[in-house]
Chains A and B, each alone.
Chain A
Amino acid sequence: MISAFSFVFFGKQIFSFMINKTVANVSEALDGVKDNMTFVFGGFGLSGIPENSIAELVKRNIKGLTCISNNAGVDDFGLGLLLQQRQIKKMISSYVGENDEFERQMLSGELEVELIPQGTLAERCRAAQAGIPAFYTPAGYGTEVEEGKETRAFNGKMHVLEHAFDADFGFIKAWKGDVAGNLVFKGTARNFNPNMCGAAKITVVEVEELLPVGELDPNQIHIPGIFVQRIFKGAHFEKRIEQRTVRPRK
């Protein structure tokens, strides 16, 4: 959808173009998701996860999914909801210690799991986003992670060849976005989200605040709209805290 609007600049009327990425709701945002697809999900623990898209995936109950996400949620929230319904065939994650159902499905062999180093996960997203097919990293050399992969010495140190992800949809949570798809993240809810924008064929972003163009300062944008295909305002954000740690007031 390309829409043009005109405005007056130094007395002359000029045209400016922007590409509107908004979709009406989560249902439209997930148009085209099917069984056996591969998805990337932003978030670290439960922070910065695309809650609305996950809820819609639960509703549609599509199966056989390969899910790439740093963590696998908890039993009753985040990707744990997809695990409950046995929608996930394979998980690619770095840390899954918070989810009993996950552990049960993995140890019983129902769920295929590929555990990879966290920095490698981030870089495999970034590589997909950036058109880099593969890269060498020192992480995992001499461990199970290296098995079946090419290794090579650079400057006397061994490295492992890792490949960019190839995903169908990316589900992203941002704090603010404008209708052109420009994004701003908040705090550590940023995490993998920016690296996953543009890392899949279709990037779907849910935001807490959806703004008209011109409302975000171009200097402060974390991810330009070019990496985003669909953006919508999430209907509800629970933003559950996984480990509530506080100190007493003096």
Chain B
Amino acid sequence: MLDKTGIAKRIAQEVKDGYYVNLGIGIPTLVANFVREDIEVEFQSENGVLGMGPFPFEGEEDADIINAGKQTITTLPGASFFDSAMSFSMIRGQHVDLTILGAMEVSENGDIANWKIPGKMVKGMGGAMDLVASAENIIVAMMHTNRAGASKLLKSCSLPLTGVGCVKKIVTNLAVLEVTEDGFKLLERAPGVSVEDIEKATAGNLIIEGNIPEMKI
């Protein structure tokens, strides 16, 4: 079974040379730490920066340079700043190659819910609805089950949706899955996790074809 860092490491393998990548808050943010060093990638943050770098050294933080999680960051050579409308021109205009975001629920047809629990938690969608409505290549990073142990991979989402039919791939602590017309297709197992474990933790339709390889982290 993977921890959050493990999920980020596995997703980093999906980042290809020449990609512009938008990382959501939480596990997705960790992905930047594990991208291969021999490829060229730029990270976009929807508050208005391309070419995000690591956190600043202590004493060099700047209130005017933050990421979408409101964390202080640095920029790399070649970076650019821009306004919010232009930022979402990049996103809706499909100039961003890969979007990685977290989710509370994903359904077997690729719907995603990650912004609201009615009556309990209402934080808002931020840029997530623009991202999922437009991106061609969306990977969800999340735990396979919630804190109560219930599956987050469902037949249909119970929470208010963020987008419909948009998720292509899911990486959890247990598995890598692809969203197909017939449901969640199991691609890889996490180290030490059996196909039965994954079946038990998946409420939506799970497609198992042939031998399922273990992830290489």
Chain A residues packing against B (C-beta within 8 Å): 44-48, 70, 93-98, 103, 106-107, 113, 115-123, 125-126, 137-145, 175, 185-195, 222, 239-249
Contact = CB atoms under 8 A, between A and B. Distances in A.
A117 B81 contact: no
Contact of B54 (A44, A45, A107, A247): A247
A142 B163 contact: yes
Given A93-B124, A115-B116, A119-B84, 17 more contacts: A44-B66, A45-B66, A94-B124, A115-B115, A117-B125, A118-B125, A119-B130, A123-B88, A125-B85, A126-B85, A139-B133, A141-B133, A186-B64, A188-B64, A241-B63, A241-B72, A246-B57
B130 A195 contact: no
B85 A189 contact: no
A105 to B, nearest CB: 12
B163 to A, nearest CB: 7
Contacts of A140: 129, 133
Contact of A195 (B47, B59, B84, B163): B84
B3 interface: no
10 contacts: A94-B127, A97-B124, A139-B133, A175-B64, A188-B47, A188-B64, A190-B82, A242-B70, A245-B56, A245-B73
Given A122-B88, A191-B83, A243 B72 contact: yes
Contacts of B57: 246-249
Contacts of A125: 85
Nearest to B74: A247
B61 A143 contact: no
Interface in B74-115: 81-85, 87-88, 91-92, 111, 115
Nearest to B92: A119
A156 B128 CA distance: 22
A182 to B, nearest CB: 16
Interface in B13-41: none
B61 A122 contact: no
A191 B47 contact: yes
Contact of A96 (B123, B163, B165): B123
Given A107-B122, A139-B129, A240-B63, A191 B84 contact: yes
B84 A70 contact: yes
Contacts of A195: 83-85
Contacts of B83: 122, 185, 190-195, 222
A189 B164 contact: no
B161 interface: yes
B188 interface: no
Contacts of A117: 125, 127-130, 133
Given A95-B124, A107-B119, A138 B133 contact: yes
Interface residues of B, number: 55
B209 interface: no
Interface of B: 45-49, 54-73, 81-85, 87-88, 91-92, 111, 115-116, 119, 122-130, 133-134, 160-165
Contacts of A113: 122
A135 to B, nearest CB: 11
A116 B88 CA distance: 14
Contact of A47 (B58, B66, B119): B66
B70 A143 contact: no
Q: Which of B65, B73, B88, B111 has the most CB of A within 10 A?
A: B88
A138 B119 CA distance: 27
Given A44-B47, A189-B63, A245 B81 contact: no
B127 A144 contact: no
B58 to A, nearest CB: 4
Contact of B84 (A45, A107, A192): A192
Given A95-B125, A143-B129, A247 B64 contact: no
Given A45-B70, A139-B133, A247 B56 contact: yes
Contacts of A194: 83, 85
B72 A245 contact: yes
A149 to B, nearest CB: 13
Q: Which of B49, B55, B59, B84 has the most CB of A within 10 A?
A: B84
A151 to B, nearest CB: 12
B158 to A, nearest CB: 14
Contact of A137 (B92, B116, B161): B92
Contact of B130 (A107, A126, A139, A243): A139
